[in-house]
Structure 1
């Protein structure tokens, strides 16, 4: 009996109508039984492919470092041998290829994405003819995923990559129920959660101090209204937020350490702009960068998180930012608005019990 095709086999759909098959031997790595990475079998490409996994904990970073060393020798404990079949003339396969690389010569790695969330996207790291990372292609293969891919491409076309510190958009692809965008490869590790680095300067640069807007004018306000904020305490606490005025900011929407890369020059590159807004609430990206590692990586208790937040909001860097954004007297309202948005709008797949408790505690103050 034939087993059901894997998600990546379904994604590429090799067909005789699209020329001869290209067979890529790969290794499948799993985490908690779920597919984590498909990587080349050995060599520099295998080592570099492991960077697709944004390890956050010390244990995960050490494990990835060990695997990188073993991968260079073709030794991957627990890795399953598999074969990815591609049709050489398929439009999506041709889109994957960097300049100078024919489909028959392609080398790649795949991060299959989270199968438990709507809008699952696949990240494909493609190597050039010299075996160096050349581009990352993000592919969506259902309605929710294609909307996110197309939205990210639209956003990156409208704003300067230099202003966003984003990877350069190299191209777009659409084919029925699939959509893809190609981005320049952003080298380097993710920053550590406690490494602020250039964060204050970056987020300050995203402020538009030439104008003032009310929160009620923003997309985030409409999203909160349409979500139907779930509890009376939050509704009461947020009642005045719509009239709060400030200097708006470029808003990333998922500004967590694992969506950033620290380049060889120390400059950050910001990835994954599918939630981006050109005019958004100030401070929310900073809250996100600060909070999400506490919830998702350190699994910290909500009471301890709030105690740390009281210290964080008094740091010199954040106070300077708050003054420039014009939010010094409205940090609490924006903090609660951000938390409710996590709970009722983005509805993050992990850490929701902690987010719900944080909302209840902050709204009840």
Structure 2
């Protein structure tokens, strides 16, 4: 796995995390959003949207995506935390120490709501937001997805990077992938659009197999052909998964490739297509040429669903670029 995120087997202690304390504030104090907005940079606003989209990013993720050094990143993240824009926790580990994990804070959620002209509940933010993420049984899964896509964002051109929530909002009638992305290598013009299934090995293979008809139905309904990349927990798991899915993928005519955590980073030649005559693993650009008839499931963001109006309207959805507008040290 990439070195920009959590260890593949971080050894988190279930339901254990430490919280950083903020200075006590008077109970009557309220966030002055106009004053707060004046203190935020375009990169800060990007980070607010990223945390709303992807739930949690570690200090390593954020440094890699948006800063030139860990010290400058730590300083700015601490400032945003004390403004209430971000919240944070640090999972306890059986060995070593975890990096700081950042989530969206109340002031950040209020700013999103104000910009969209909706009430705070429309953002989905709750008072226990940070605790719910810190103690979630799917934390390792979420971090694994975000680590993989962080690596792609910093080593390839990645114009689109959608979370599970956004992908479900778009295609939930057919599939609920863990992510959706478009990527091209710096030295390649071949676009690889793909859905991502990130398998930690926590459930049986039949559950993954049962998802394939949904991807086939989406392709048939939308007249698109978007590959499915499945990242698994290890070599044995990948081998069992490939054996389980081969017949179904062939019958449904789905372009599927697999990889596992023991092979390296997602930009390396680690992806092996199902039901293929190729004998070696491929890089993402090689996958794009391996499947010459593929096409993206998302082509026009103007066709995205419009949220309902009124007090309980949903926050309007706009794709968040996986890199900030102005990366830098400040």
Please, what TM-score do these two structures have when normalized by structure 2?
0.29
More strand by share: 1
Structure with greater Cα Rg: 1
Using CA pairs under 8 Å that are at least 6 residues apart, name the structure with larger relative contact order, 1 or 2. Answer: 2
